[in-house]
Structures are given as C-alpha cells and as structure tokens.
C-alpha cells in the first residue's frame, strides 16, 4: 500500500501541490487525471524522491519514504516513462535487463529479458536492436518490459498512450491491464486519456489546483459533476 499525506510543493511563488492526500491499496490500479500543468508529474517525482516536497510525507507498506528507506522501495518498483526513457547506448535486451545484469550473468539476464519482451508482444529478434531503431509503439513496449523485468510490487505508468495512434494505444492499455492483473502489482497511472482510465483503472483521482478534488471508482466517474468538464460533457 502507498499513502501520500499532505504533500506540498511550490516552484518559486507558484504552488503546484497544495496538500495532496491519496491512498493506493495493495493490488489496486489507480489513475491520476488532471489537466496539463496541474502537477501530476511533480506528484510522481515527489513519490520517487526525484523532487523534494516542501512538506508532507509518502508511506510505503506503512513506512515513511526517506533517503534510508527509498532504496528498498525502489527495488520493488517499476516505471514506464512517457517517452520510454530507454538508454540510447544499450541494446533492447540490455535495457530490459538493466537491473538484472547487476546481480546475475548476462546469459541469464538476457533469457529473462527475452521472456519479458515476449510478454509485451515483441519477438526475440528485437532483443539485439538499439532504441533508435524502434517505432514509438515498440519503444513503449520495451519500456513496459523493462518496468516489469524484476517483477515489481508497484508500477507507475506516466502517460502510457501519449504519442500513439488509437490502435497501438488500445494495445498498450490491454497489455498494462493484463500485466497488472497477472502480477497483482499495485499500479498508479498518470494520464489524461480517458480511454486509458476506463481500460486500466479501478479507481480515479482528479488533481486540480494542487489538490485531489475527486476520488472514486472508475464506474462512478461518469456521474461525477466535478469530472464533467474533463469528460467533455459541458456542452450537454
């Protein structure tokens, strides 16, 4: 379980997070939605320790995340970045097996990487390619394979369908949903693609003006007045 309490963050005089409280239960898939610039990525970076919050705390399995506990947290963590964030200088299998190679032989790590690539629908022939040789959809799949390579308990997806055509976006959504169900991992997805939310999420939280203004099950979001504008129902 991951719990966020009173998280605040400002850049100069501009407050981005103004006291975010959020809980994600074990095995749950939460989608965080919000307009561009509402602080979704800052929230994610604060959880990961990439940005230091001004106040508030993040708890994982009941333990406060700080410099001492974060390495253990990251060992059980996987992330799919918006642009893939694949390492340019490494081949596809070396990207997927990046963490594995630090504790096992290349042969064993490569075998696991090929297995994870197959799970995301990529054949073994892609293992030796460089990231520059991949299409946008393939890069997302490789990023997904890297995120699940070490069987994480918690996975973050940052705008998983951005830049993909509707067919590829649907496939990525199906893959994410399938992987989250199979592994039982807790998932947090940052997105403003409502198709993704319906396909991936169990629960939705809407971030606006630095706070969570609505939080509830995906099935209830169509009836939520606060989400009407975001869902494109204002003209109705």
Of the candidates 230, 150, 147, 185, the one whose C-alpha atom is nearest the C-alpha of residue 202 is 185
Using alpha carbons only, what angle is made at residue 100 by residues 158 and 52, rounded to the nearest 5 degrees? 40
How far is the C-alpha of 230 from the C-alpha of 159, rounded, in Å? Answer: 16
Point out which span in 53-61, 84-92, 167-175, 223-231 binds other proteins (CB under 8 A): 84-92
Residue 3, strand partner residues: 23, 59
Sole binder of other proteins in the list 34, 39, 78, 137 (CB under 8 A):
78
- Least CB distance from residue 86 to other proteins, whole Å? 8
Sole binder of other proteins in the list 15, 18, 81, 121 (CB under 8 A):
81
Point out which span in 53-61, 87-95, 107-115, 184-192 binds other proteins (CB under 8 A): 87-95
Binding of residue 79 to other proteins (CB under 8 A): yes
**Contacts for 203 with CB less than 8 Å, ≥ 6 apart:** 24, 28, 29, 30, 31, 215, 216, 217, 218
Strands (E), 112-231: 154-158, 186-190, 203-208, 211-217
Binding of residue 45 to other proteins (CB under 8 A): yes
Binding of residue 77 to other proteins (CB under 8 A): yes
Binding of residue 181 to other proteins (CB under 8 A): no
How far is the C-alpha of 56 from the C-alpha of 67, rounded, in Å? Answer: 15
Sole binder of other proteins in the list 49, 56, 136, 216 (CB under 8 A):
49
- Least CB distance from residue 219 to other proteins, whole Å? 31
> Which positions lie near other proteins, rule CB under 8 A?
45, 48-50, 71, 74-75, 77-79, 81-83, 85-89, 98-99, 102, 146, 156
């Amino acid at each position: 379980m991951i719990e966020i309490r009173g998280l605040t963050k400002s850049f100069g005089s501009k407050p981005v997070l103004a006291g975010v409280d959020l809980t994600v239960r074990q095995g749950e898939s939460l989608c965080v939605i919000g307009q561009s610039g509402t602080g979704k990525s800052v929230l994610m970076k604060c959880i990961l320790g990439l940005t230091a919050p001004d106040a508030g705390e993040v708890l994982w399995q009941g333990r406060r995340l700080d410099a001492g506990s974060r390495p253990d947290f990251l060992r059980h963590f996987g992330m799919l970045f918006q642009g893939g964030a694949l390492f340019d200088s490494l081949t596809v299998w070396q990207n997927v097996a990046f963490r594995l190679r630090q504790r096992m032989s290349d042969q064993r790590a490569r075998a696991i990487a090929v297995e994870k690539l197959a799970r995301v629908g990529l054949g073994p022939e892609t293992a030796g390619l460089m990231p520059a040789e991949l299409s946008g959809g393939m890069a997302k799949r490789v990023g997904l394979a890297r995120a699940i390579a070490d069987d994480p308990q918690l996975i973050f997806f940052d705008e998983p369908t951005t830049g993909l055509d509707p067919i590829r976006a649907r496939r990525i959504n199906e893959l994410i949903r399938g992987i989250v169900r199979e592994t039982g991992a807790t998932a947090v997805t940052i997105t403003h693609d409502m198709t993704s939310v319906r396909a991936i999420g169990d629960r939705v939280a809407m971030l606006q003006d630095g706070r969570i203004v609505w939080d509830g099950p995906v099935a209830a979001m169509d009836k939520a007045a606060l989400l009407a504008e975001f869902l494109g129902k204002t003209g109705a």
